[in-house]
């Protein structure tokens, strides 16, 4: 019996060695789905085995950004990572496509702290608009040149400038290669979110919308990484508002603590509900696009926006230094 097992093992090893490239069935897979592949675990031979026409690439991103005294600076990253896992599962369950998940890009542009004019703030480590766009244009080029034709970006961070950088990289892919590259967050926007679906009347008066490190985002983070929040959100005083002007005013105060709204109203149960609703919204846009819906006519979160002043100032500062040293490319 033992000998039989030993012999079978040897045969399996020999067969896998003499059969040439591994079959797609033998590639590394996420635990929950045989059609979901994790790029960092694969060799180039594994990746070459994928049928590119039948593979959706998911690029995920998170910004390092202050989220008040009660939330980790990787809050948006945790939300993007969960949304990516959920969307991968939705695609694997609803289509005959494979999903290839890239590791998360830990960079984004335009932290919320800039809204009130605090461009530099502990916990926020942003790149400029042009750098974020270049990162995703570079990935678009690599993927397009290698024959991938279905690319979806999940990079959850609410400033429109941030979405615009990724939207422009997607536009570059569409103009240059066959297939599509889309920014799911920008296409889903916030239309799926309705306060009265998630909050009572009293809660709405204390925490009117979904903005930053507030009831909404604190609930999500509490749901995803409770040990990193503990009960710190309960100590934050509500910073309510009635208009966008009020938010600008609050966030420009010298002692502003990096959040608006009312984190103390957050709960894990609410976070679970919101995460499910958000992933479903992103997943349903993804499926509509895979099935051929024309996304060029859909509205985008970045519509009507342009790169911010801080990004342009930092780019100028860098370019000036590079020029002074003779390090700029001659194009």
Q: How many C-beta atoms lie closer than 10 Å to residue 32's C-beta? A: 10
Residue among 92 and 166 whose Cβ is closer to Zn ion: 166
Q: How far apart are CA 48 and CA 30, in angstroms?
A: 18
Residue among 73 and 91 whose Cβ is closer to Zn ion: 73
Q: Name 134's Cβ contacts closer than 8 Å, sequence gap at least 6.
A: none
Residue among 80 and 130 whose Cβ is closer to Zn ion: 80
Residue located via tokens 């709405």: 204
Residue among 75 and 279 whose Cβ is closer to Zn ion: 75
Least distance between Zn ion and beta carbon 217 (Å): 5
Q: How far apart are CA 177 and CA 141, in angstroms?
A: 9
Least distance between Zn ion and beta carbon 112 (Å): 7
Q: Measured over all CA atoms, what is the biggest interatomic distance in the chain, rounded to whole angstroms?
A: 78
The answer to the question of residue 76 lying near Zn ion (CB under 5 A) is: yes
SS3 180: strand
Residue among 75 and 149 whose Cβ is closer to Zn ion: 75
Q: Name 167's Cβ contacts closer than 8 Å, sequence gap at least 6.
A: 183, 186, 300, 302
The 26-65 site mask, x for binding Zn ion (CB under 5 A), equals ----------------------------------------
Nearest Cα residue to 116 out of 310, 311, 247: 247
Q: Kindly state the tokens that stand for 165.
A: 């950088």
Contact segment (CB under 5 A) with Zn ion among 45-53, 68-76, 126-134, 279-287 equals 68-76
Counting every residue written for the chain, the total comes to 331
Q: Name 199's Cβ contacts closer than 8 Å, sequence gap at least 6.
A: 207, 215, 265
The 226-265 site mask, x for binding Zn ion (CB under 5 A), equals ----------------------------------------
Q: Kindly state the tokens that stand for 163.
A: 């979405």
DSSP-derived letter for residue 31 is: T
Residue among 75 and 130 whose Cβ is closer to Zn ion: 75
The 280-309 site mask, x for binding Zn ion (CB under 5 A), equals ------------------------------
Do 182 and 295 touch, CB atoms closer than 8 A?
Answer: yes
For Zn ion, which residue has the nearest CB? 76
Least distance between Zn ion and beta carbon 237 (Å): 20
Least distance between Zn ion and beta carbon 158 (Å): 7
Q: What is the 3-state secondary structure (H, E, C) of 78-113?
A: HHHHHHHHHHHHHHHHHCCCEEEECCCECCCCCCHH
Least distance between Zn ion and beta carbon 127 (Å): 16
Residue among 37 and 209 whose Cβ is closer to Zn ion: 209
Contact segment (CB under 5 A) with Zn ion among 73-81, 185-193, 287-295, 312-320 equals 73-81
Q: Which residues on neighbouring strands pair with residue 152, listed in sequence order?
A: 58, 182
Least distance between Zn ion and beta carbon 219 (Å): 12
Residue among 125 and 295 whose Cβ is closer to Zn ion: 125
Least distance between Zn ion and beta carbon 272 (Å): 17
Least distance between Zn ion and beta carbon 300 (Å): 19
Residue among 36 and 81 whose Cβ is closer to Zn ion: 81
Q: Kindly state the tokens that stand for 75.
A: 């809050």
The answer to the question of residue 214 lying near Zn ion (CB under 5 A) is: no
Q: Which residues on neighbouring strands pair with residue 56, listed in sequence order?
A: 99
Binding site for Zn ion (CB under 5 A): 75-76
């Amino acid at each position: 019996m033992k000998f039989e097992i030993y012999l079978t093992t040897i045969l399996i090893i020999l067969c896998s060695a003499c059969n040439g490239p591994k079959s797609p069935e033998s590639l590394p897979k996420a635990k929950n789905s045989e059609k979901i592949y994790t790029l960092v675990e694969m060799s180039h031979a594994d990746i070459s085995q994928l049928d590119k026409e039948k593979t959706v690439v998911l690029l995920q991103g998170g910004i390092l950004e202050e989220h008040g005294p009660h939330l980790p600076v990787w809050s948006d990253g945790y939300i993007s990572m969960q949304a990516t896992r959920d969307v991968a599962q939705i695609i694997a369950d609803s289509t005959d496509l494979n999903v290839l998940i890239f590791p998360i890009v830990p960079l984004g542009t335009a932290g919320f702290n800039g809204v009130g004019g605090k461009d530099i703030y502990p916990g926020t480590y942003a790149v400029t608009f042009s750098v974020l766009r270049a990162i995703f244009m570079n990935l678009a080029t690599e993927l397009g040149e290698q024959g991938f034709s279905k690319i979806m970006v999940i990079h959850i961070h609410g400033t429109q400038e941030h979405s615009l950088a990724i939207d422009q990289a997607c536009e570059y892919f569409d103009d240059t290669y066959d297939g599509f590259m889309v920014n799911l967050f920008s296409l889903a926007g916030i239309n799926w979110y309705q306060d009265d679906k998630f909050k009572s009347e009293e809660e709405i008066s204390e925490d009117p919308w979904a903005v930053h490190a507030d009831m909404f985002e604190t609930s999500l983070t509490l749901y995803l990484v409770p040990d990193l929040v503990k009960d710190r959100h309960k100590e934050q005083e509500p910073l309510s508002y009635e208009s966008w002007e009020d938010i600008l005013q609050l966030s420009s105060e010298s002692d502003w603590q990096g959040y608006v709204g009312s984190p103390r109203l957050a709960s894990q149960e609410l976070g679970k509900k919101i995460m499910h609703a958000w992933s479903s919204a992103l997943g349903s846009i993804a499926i509509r696009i895979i099935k051929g819906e024309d996304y060029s006519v859909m509205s985008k979160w970045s519509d009507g926006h342009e790169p911010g002043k801080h990004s342009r100032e930092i780019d100028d500062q860098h370019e000036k230094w590079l020029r002074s040293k003779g390090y700029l490319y001659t194009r």
